[in-house]
Structure 1
């Protein structure tokens, strides 16, 4: 591997035939040939002349004439080898003689020449005897020499395609490699080599019978290994495979084996490459934070006014109208997306258009949020001291820990610091406890704690689970549905493993079954297909009626106004379930679509639910958020938090938005599982150093999976057979008439608590708002002491 860049600055000879060189590529002693010598330009006249002569031969004439020619050669005291050598540029006289030139051109451009070469290589067997040896060995040696020279030339021509100098080690350089484009380039640059390797990897018989297998990537890998064997600077593919397989957790021993085969770079190179990617990522983020707005997330202002509670409790007419519109649209499209409506002829009717987003984040590549992973720290964050140590270490890594940078942060910067509820609670506690410190940095005046929506969604799902779990005997309850659908592990709430993912899927399926049963009941039909006779306008009107009758506070109030003997406890229970679960489904949809306006419209419902279902910490978080949005934050800060601190997208595509704390959970999974360090050198120090390279590893891994079509395997959480399960539950609910009003029917089990109503009452009557406001109200110092003595104290790490 030492010929390196020898070929970079030379122009290779063309692959066309050049008669100033012999078959070994050495310059011949022949003089320049006449311009009219048709050596490389076949003329049809030669073929026609040969064919005419052959047509004039009579049976038996050929042998007679051949014997006569051989006799003439004998008389001239030469034999066939001397004669053929003379014809084919044997000496200068024969080269320039027109008669010999014509004979030579006839032979070189004849149809007979390939046939003759074939018979020399594979002579026909004599009748009853052995096959003659012919010129097989000579032709094989000659062909090997020709092919070797051609392969060597083509390898040099194609070599620049595999170049990857050390200075090009970057995420962009690695992910810009398109294997399909590179394959086409190599095929054009080295056609003979490509054909040989293709034939070695794929027989004509395979090609005839197998229409799916394609050996192109195998051939490209063969060329790559050969190029890398010639020079370690031609490791463009080897580098990409190395980073990708390191990201997939390949062991060091396997690395060494594959490196010996020329498939990968060495394990040492790969480890150093990860360090380089991490270092460059850190330098980039250290530079970007001085150019662009940024927020910080980590996991495991004088207060003068409070939220005007009447607005929260009673909402606004505009928000109520929007919520009703989105709810109607949701149940309407649930019907349209059912299998029974797959062939509905009016699907494109404007009546089915979704309502416009309240405030949707813009998509596109220009709005992709770029996330950086900092070095993993060994500090715990469960305590205030641990959280403060994490913050100090974050500033150290970002090079914001100098006295000058601390002063800029305290006076000029606003940093949204995001995390799960525990993290945000610790941050807010620090912000409170340090309210009398000596300068704005130490008081954390720069910080806006922002909770993560992913953990809030999980809390929302858990509150519904708590409210409607019930027991197996209660038709419609979550537990009964889990039993019918054979969903395991959903009885006891858990914060570990796939519990929330499984619960989320179950809530979607169960709620769809309930709402389908409502469609059947309101239409007085046995199958949703019977509704296809309805016009789009009629279906939209029915959807609005469905919400009012089966999923609204209005329906529950009508029930409460009835006498006890007239009420239907079953109908009341599952009407409340529909009313409670739809906001959860809308929140999930709004997050995925990036509609921050709809998320904000849902805040009052979230506040009441958490206040009434025993989630006091999230009650405080919603109160803090409402206080900031509606009272404390200036418009630019309010917009910044909503637009850049709630949701992010890594692709810019529609429905690709996710909460920041979910992205952080993915980072943690990558550090602990997907890209974990292995072996005796996998220390916390080493883990910390390579963590910044994780975004690059992720992009490289996705790039390789896309190149080879393996991106679908294991990338998504498996979803049970939705239609089968929803249909089964719908049958159960219809048979039990859960959504049919039957006066006097009693619920056989205890009725679920109305968390939303209880939450509103608790907030209004139990002084929850006042108590929260008193705890957070305190005078904050406004001084700015930046003396050197004070800075020495502030810069000391906490123990």
Structure 2
């Protein structure tokens, strides 16, 4: 059986119908015939690479188009693909003659219809908490001057393209570091490789809604260009007053650079990052702003090594292998982790260590760690790297509630690293969350 399509122009046909009308539950008998004809039983049982599912969908769509010229799901999608890859007009019209695509003129109408559809979705999304990602684009035209004409576009046109994203769980109107939130910080440090307590995570299977907006000829390569692009998108195009917030990835990017700036030191200073880079034979990390992923991998490796050394010292066994054979209980593991957190990360009277239960350990150092400069620097390095790894993992888990727990700490740490602008940005963001962005505004 087939489903009758509504009588409407294909330019106004809902995009969701392009895929939902051609599933096996809509044409079960036809799909079974096509699968039987496309593959033998032996191939269905043993061929794990080549399947007939995609081919059956294409044939089904072609048959629907043969039945009604309003069933343009495959033709419209394939035509958009040809146009997006820069195919010439004759190339697009050739599949059109074979009923594989729409004509070039219809393709232009479809693109215009899609642009209005994306605009309407973006305008509605802009009324809610959302994120915006944008980057520069370069559009190339014909290399032949006579084809462009005197009043035609330049050979290369630069601009900016943006995409809006719906933010789930974006607002929590009180991010003061309460005792419960400080305890959450402590737990994330202690159980950094264990499943964390969910605060406001994104549900499993949730797909972020994305709304592209029209490209702009305003370039975002300068600070002024960024500001002009923001005004053009929101004030002129979306007709919305916007409030800016920092991007999580940009926060991590600046945080790893701040850690490198504070802890770089020299090769001759034991405990400095330059010392560890030399020991691990790491390269391409000598400039002021190295590659983010390369630097993050190196910092994570350093933290893992320092934590393994601390566990080897505090576990009370001859080796970690012997300690694992003893099958320690979760309570024992948390006790040792809390002891390491107090003895190997900054001052023992810091906020997140106050939340841990006091444990009298004979293995704790009996001297002031500040008397040992190298040991003191390593304690500070471990503290900063723990925050970095915890924030990166929290962002990866999609739990905005756990990210907000670290905001006050990150503001202070950015200020201590000399990143005054980012400290001010975080404080401004906290102010908006607590007082400016009221529930009515959200």
- TM-score by length of structure 2 reads 0.69
- Matched residue, 1:465: 260
Q: Which residue of 1 aligns with 2:249?
A: 454
1:512 is aligned to 304
Alignment of 1:326 with 2:198, yes or no, is no
Tell me how far apart the structure 2 counterparts of residues 482 and 210 of structure 1 sit (CA, whole Å). 48
SS of equivalent to 1:372:
strand
Instruction: Confirm or deny: 8 A CA contact 1:296 1:417 kept in the other structure.
Output: no
Cα RMSD, aligned residues only: 4.5
Q: Is the 8 A contact 1:170 1:277 kept in 2?
A: no
Instruction: Work out whether residues 471 and 479 of structure 1, in 8 Å CA contact, stay in contact via their aligned partners in 2.
Output: yes
Report 1:194-233 matches (<5 A): 195=36, 197-198=37-38, 210=47, 212-222=49-59, 224-225=61-62, 228=65, 232-233=69-70
Contact 1:465/1:478 (8 A) holds in 2: yes
Q: Mapping of 1:468-547 within 5 angstroms?
A: 468-470=263-265, 478-479=273-274, 489-494=284-289, 499-523=291-315, 524-528=317-321, 530-532=323-325, 533-547=327-341
Q: How does 1:140-539 map to 2 (within 5 A)?
A: 166-167=10-11, 169-177=13-21, 181=25, 184-188=28-32, 191=33, 195=36, 197-198=37-38, 210=47, 212-222=49-59, 224-225=61-62, 228=65, 232-243=69-80, 249=85, 251-252=87-88, 255-256=92-93, 258-259=95-96, 261-286=98-123, 293=128, 297=132, 317-330=179-192, 333=194, 354-355=196-197, 357=199, 360=200, 363=203, 370-380=209-219, 382=222, 387=227, 390-391=230-231, 394-398=234-238, 400=239, 415-418=241-244, 450-470=245-265, 478-479=273-274, 489-494=284-289, 499-523=291-315, 524-528=317-321, 530-532=323-325, 533-539=327-333
Once the two structures are TM-superposed, the CA of residue 173 in structure 1 deviates from its matched residue by 1.8
Q: Deviations over 1:89-138 (max 9, x none)?
A: xxxxxxxxxxxxxxxxxxxxxxxxxxxxxxxxxxxxxxxxxxxxxxxxxx
For residues 25 and 81 of structure 2, what CA distance do their matches in structure 1 show?
A: 19
Deviation of 1:611 after TM superposition, in Å, equals 1.8
Cα distance in 1 for partners of 2:81, 2:366 equals 62
Compared CA separation, residues 473 and 275, structure 1 to 2 (3 A)? farther
More helix by share: 1
Task: Quote how far apart the aligned CAs of 1:164 are.
Answer: 9.6
**Structure 1 stretch 549-558 or stretch 503-512: which is displaced more?**
549-558
Alignment partners' CA distance in 1, 2:44 and 2:209:
45
**Secondary structure of the structure 2 residue equivalent to 1:601:** helix
Cα distance change on mapping 1:515 and 1:608 into 2, 3 Å? same
Q: Which runs of 5+ in 1 are unaligned?
A: 1-156, 301-310, 334-352, 401-408, 410-414, 419-449, 641-799
Question: In the alignment, which residue of structure 2 is the partner of 1:733?
Answer: none
Structure 1 SS opposite 2:51: coil
The unaligned stretches of length 5 or more in structure 2 are 136-174, 354-363
- 1:190-233: per-residue Cα shift (whole Å, max 9, x none)? x3x765x52xxx57886797465333433543454466567644
Superposed displacement of residue 618, structure 1: 0.9
2: CA distance, partners of 1:279 / 1:363: 31
Q: Which residue of 2 aligns with 1:585?
A: 389
Q: Which protein has the larger Cα radius of gyration, Structure 1 or Structure 2?
A: 1
Distance 1:597 1:503, change over 3 A: same
Can you list the C-alpha shifts for 1:635-674, whole angstroms capped at 9, x where unaligned?
A: 537x94xxxxxxxxxxxxxxxxxxxxxxxxxxxxxxxxxx
Whole-angstrom distance in 2 between the partners of 1:266 and 1:486? 58
The answer to whether the Cα contact below 8 Å between 1:183 and 1:217 also exists between their aligned partners in 2 is no
Question: 1:636 corresponds to which residue?
Answer: 439
Tell me, yes or no, if the aligned pair for 1:164 and 1:236 is still in contact at 8 Å.
no
Cα offset for 1:180? 5.1
Residues 1:553 and 2:347 are matched in the alignment: yes
Q: Select the residue among 562, 565, 569 that pairs with 2:368.
A: 562
Aligned length: 387
Listed one character per residue, the Cα deviations across residues 441-486 of structure 1 (whole Å, up to 9, x for unaligned) are xxxxxxxxx3333212211111112233455677765456656767
Residue 171 (structure 2) aligns with: none
CA distance in 2, matches of 1:295, 1:208: 46
Could you tell me whether the CA contact under 8 Å between 1:169 and 1:273 is conserved in 2? no
The secondary structure found in structure 1 opposite 2:348 is helix
Please state whether the residue corresponding to 1:454 is helix, strand or coil: helix
